[in-house]
């Protein structure tokens, strides 16, 4: 297989290639029907010019090989005209090919764009459970490889494989019509043998390539893991041990590469043997016909040129076949993402939720991530509009689950969640989430400026609205101290900001959304006292504008709540105000005494 290289898909993917993925591509290709038709016409023109070149060459040779009288005239007029025609046809061949690629390029690029956009959009429509279980790098790689696979597949299948066999068919007909059936038989037998051998040999090589890729990945993983744990290696004086283990992986890689090189030699050798045998057979037959006067020297040159013209594109068949299989595997992996269905779905024609007050009601809500491990068990409570309700409890009691159910990241197992008299399972998810803002425990920011991260809460907000939200979150003094102000880049995941600064950015972003319900998910649990005080000031400033749900670990942050829910093993064990719960002298009072003593 000439120029063989590692395919775009992993070797393991090549065993189960779904050719039906081509059908799924068709709707994305039909946007430019006129361009496709024009590109195909250019393809036909290029192939006709390609097949015509050897015939012009034949006439040039025959004219130059004429007798003395004829040759004098031929040398002056005919060969020059034929040579000019040869140049024109050769240029036409290249021109039609370039036009074909240019015209069809937009079709391929638009299909790549449409598919990539649809997959990306679909991924964002899937439920939280899918995203918690997915591997981000793997999904991103599937999209990237799948989109690239479309380009490769279209370029090689439509403009390489199919045209090559069309050209072979044209040449066989011309050889049969103009010369002898035996030339067509030689072409047919050699092409069938070549294709069959290339396919079988490529399939045989797949296991070798898989071993090579596996060895390469193993050695790479070993080196990265060792270097990431550099200090641990130093602590235990294991530099030589790590080097020896890495060398073992490299030895496996070396053996796999050697085996791959030998199999490649076998593939290339077999292909060359078939080409040489076919070319020799056709040349022997042509020489015999020339010696008998049946054919001219020009015919001999023509036969040789046609045979070479057939096998030059076929010479890449093994490589193209493997790459096409890899591309199909990658495309199928990408379309498999489109086939993933969300477990949280809107009802057909689900109405838009209208939230004016922000009243919340949980009615006997039960939920479990896994049937054998229930999280919430018949939880019921009511929150009046613009009240502040706090949810406290130990780890695993179901505090954050209530927030996720309120946002409808999951559907309840039983019971219902009502907002302003509307069942959240009956309305569209988009309208429900538009009414709620969240300040998460672990604020993750985009690698952009502070201003852009805050504006993300409402991408249509004006600069004045963004600065108003910044002021509400007590973030303006901090921004003024920065050399670049609000244009300061926060770094990957916001690592350039402290925990308190990130939380205030998150509050400003949540305020800018202008929701009716604001959720604070342990917004101060990992902050120091000074940072916590700033966050509490920001939270207090927006109190009364929204219905506030505060999931808290530090009880000192929620003493002013209108209602405190104490969760224990997925049930509400106690509820009331801070004073009422202290008077009960139960779980809340015990936790309060413990935190104060600490």
* pLDDT tens digits for range 349-383: 888 888 888 899 999 999 988 888 888 988 999 99
Query: Which is it for strands 422-423 and 414-419: parallel, antiparallel or unpaired?
Result: antiparallel
Closest C-alpha among 194, 316, 288, 2 to residue 186: 194
Highest mean pLDDT: which of 14-18, 327-331, 462-466? 462-466
Determine what percent of the chain is predicted with pLDDT higher than 70. Answer: 80
Q: How far apart are alpha carbons 358 and 13 in whole angstroms? A: 50
Residue 463 tokens read as 């600069």
β-strand partners of 328: none
Inter-residue contact 437 to 517 (CB < 8 Å): yes
Range from 25-39, 333-347, 562-576 carrying the lowest mean pLDDT: 25-39
pLDDT(12) > 60: no
Domain spanning 11-338: which superfamily? ABC transporter type 1, transmembrane domain (1.20.1560.10)
Closest C-alpha among 269, 233, 437, 258 to residue 355: 437
Architecture of the domain made up of 360-597:
3-Layer(aba) Sandwich (3.40)
Using alpha carbons only, what angle is made at residue 179 by residues 177 and 180, rounded to the nearest 5 degrees? 90
Closest C-alpha among 437, 394, 538, 431 to residue 478: 538
With the CA atoms of 440, 443, 444 and 446 taken in that order, what torsion angle do they form, in degrees rounded to the nearest 10? Answer: 110
Q: What are phi and psi of 560, to 5 degrees?
A: -95, 10
With b for 16 or more beta-carbon neighbours within 10 A and e for fewer, the 340-359 pattern comes to eeeebebeeebeebebeebb
Sequence ranges of the chain with CATH classification 1.20.1560.10: 11-338
pLDDT confidence tier of residue 68, bands split at 50, 70 and 90: very low
Q: State which H helix or E strand residue 571 sits in.
A: strand 571-576
Write out the E strands in 371-503. Answer: 373-383, 388-393, 414-419, 422-423, 436-439
Tell me the pLDDT of the chain averaged across its residues: 78
Range from 288-292, 505-509, 517-521 carrying the lowest mean pLDDT: 288-292
Return the pLDDT at 61.
65
Give me the numbers of helices (H) and strands (E) for the chain, helices first please: 21, 10
With b for 16 or more beta-carbon neighbours within 10 A and e for fewer, the 507-543 pattern comes to bbbbbbbbbbbbbbbbbbeebeeebbebbbebbeebb
Residues 6+ apart with CB under 8 A from 574: 564, 565, 566, 581, 584, 586, 587, 588
Mean pLDDT over 437-451 rounds to 84
Determine what percent of the chain is predicted with pLDDT higher than 90. Answer: 5
Range from 32-41, 79-88, 248-257 carrying the lowest mean pLDDT: 79-88
Return the pLDDT at 363.
92
Sequence ranges of the chain with CATH classification 3.40.50.300: 360-597
Return the pLDDT at 417.
92
Inter-residue contact 314 to 161 (CB < 8 Å): no
| CB-count exposure of residue 293 (10 Å: 0-12, 13-18, 19+) | exposed
Q: How far apart are alpha carbons 249 and 587 in whole angstroms? A: 57
Mean pLDDT over 1-26 rounds to 49
Inter-residue contact 588 to 437 (CB < 8 Å): no
Residues 6+ apart with CB under 8 A from 185: none
pLDDT(199) > 60: yes
Residue with tokens 């490299």: 250
Return the pLDDT at 534.
65
pTM of this structure: 0.63
Return the pLDDT at 17.
54
């Amino acid at each position: 297989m000439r120029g063989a290289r590692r395919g775009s898909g992993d070797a393991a993917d090549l065993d189960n290639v779904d050719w039906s993925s081509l059908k799924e591509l068709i709707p994305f290709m039909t946007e430019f029907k006129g361009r496709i038709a024009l590109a195909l016409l250019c393809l036909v023109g290029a192939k006709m010019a390609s097949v015509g070149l050897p015939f012009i060459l034949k006439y040039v040779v025959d004219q130059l090989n004429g007798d003395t009288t004829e040759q004098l005239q031929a040398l002056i007029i005919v060969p020059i005209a034929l040579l000019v025609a040869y140049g024109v046809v050769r240029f036409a061949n290249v021109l039609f090919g370039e036009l074909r690629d240019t015209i069809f390029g937009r079709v391929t690029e638009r299909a790549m764009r449409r598919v990539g956009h649809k997959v990306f959009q679909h991924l964002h429509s899937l439920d939280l459970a899918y995203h918690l279980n997915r591997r981000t790098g793997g999904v991103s790689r599937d999209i990237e490889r799948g989109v690239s696979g479309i380009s490769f597949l279209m370029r090689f299948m439509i403009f390489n494989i199919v045209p090559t066999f069309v050209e072979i068919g044209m040449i066989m007909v011309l050889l049969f019509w103009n010369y002898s059936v035996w030339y067509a038989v030689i072409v047919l037998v050699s092409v069938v043998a070549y294709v069959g051998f290339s396919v079988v040999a490529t399939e045989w090589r797949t296991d070798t390539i898989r071993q090579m890729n596996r060895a390469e990945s193993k050695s790479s993983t070993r080196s990265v893991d060792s270097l990431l744990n550099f200090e641990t290696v130093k602590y235990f004086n294991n530099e030589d041990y790590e080097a020896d283990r890495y060398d073992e992986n490299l030895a496996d890689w070396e053996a796999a590469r050697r085996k791959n090189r030998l199999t490649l030699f076998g593939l290339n050798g077999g292909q060359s043997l078939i080409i040489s045998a076919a070319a020799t057979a056709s040349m022997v037959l042509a020489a015999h016909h020339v010696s008998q006067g049946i054919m001219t020297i020009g015919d001999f040159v023509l036969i040789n040129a046609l045979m070479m013209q057939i096998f030059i594109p076929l010479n890449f068949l093994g490589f193209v076949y493997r790459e096409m299989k890899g591309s199909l595997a990658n495309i199928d992996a990408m379309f498999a993402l489109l086939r993933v269905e969300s477990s949280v779905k809107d009802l057909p024609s689900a109405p838009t939720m209208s939230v004016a007050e922000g009243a919340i009601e949980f009615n006997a809500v039960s939920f479990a991530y896994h049937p054998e491990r229930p999280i919430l068990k018949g939880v019921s409570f009511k929150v009046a509009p613009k009240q502040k309700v706090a949810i406290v409890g130990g780890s695993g009691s179901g505090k954050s689950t209530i927030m996720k159910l309120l946002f409808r990241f999951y559907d309840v197992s039983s019971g219902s969640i009502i907002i302003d008299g509307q069942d959240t399972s009956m309305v569209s998810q988009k309208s429900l989430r538009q009414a709620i803002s969240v300040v998460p425990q672990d604020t993750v920011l985009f690698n952009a400026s502070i201003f852009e991260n805050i504006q993300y809460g409402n991408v249509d907000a004006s600069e004045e609205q963004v600065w108003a939200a910044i002021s509400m979150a007590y973030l303006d003094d901090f921004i003024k101290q920065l050399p670049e102000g609000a244009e300061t880049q926060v770094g990957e995941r916001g690592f350039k900001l402290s925990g308190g600064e990130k939380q205030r950015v998150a509050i400003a972003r949540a305020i800018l959304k202008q929701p009716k319900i604001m959720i604070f998910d342990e917004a101060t649990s990992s902050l120091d006292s000074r940072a916590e005080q700033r966050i509490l000031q920001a939270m207090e400033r927006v109190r009364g504008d929204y219905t506030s749900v505060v999931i808290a670990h530090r009880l000192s942050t929620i003493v002013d709540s209108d209602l405190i829910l104490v969760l224990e093993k997925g049930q509400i064990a106690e509820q009331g105000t801070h004073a009422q719960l202290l008077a009960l002298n139960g779980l809340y009072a015990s936790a309060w005494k413990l935190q104060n003593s600490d």
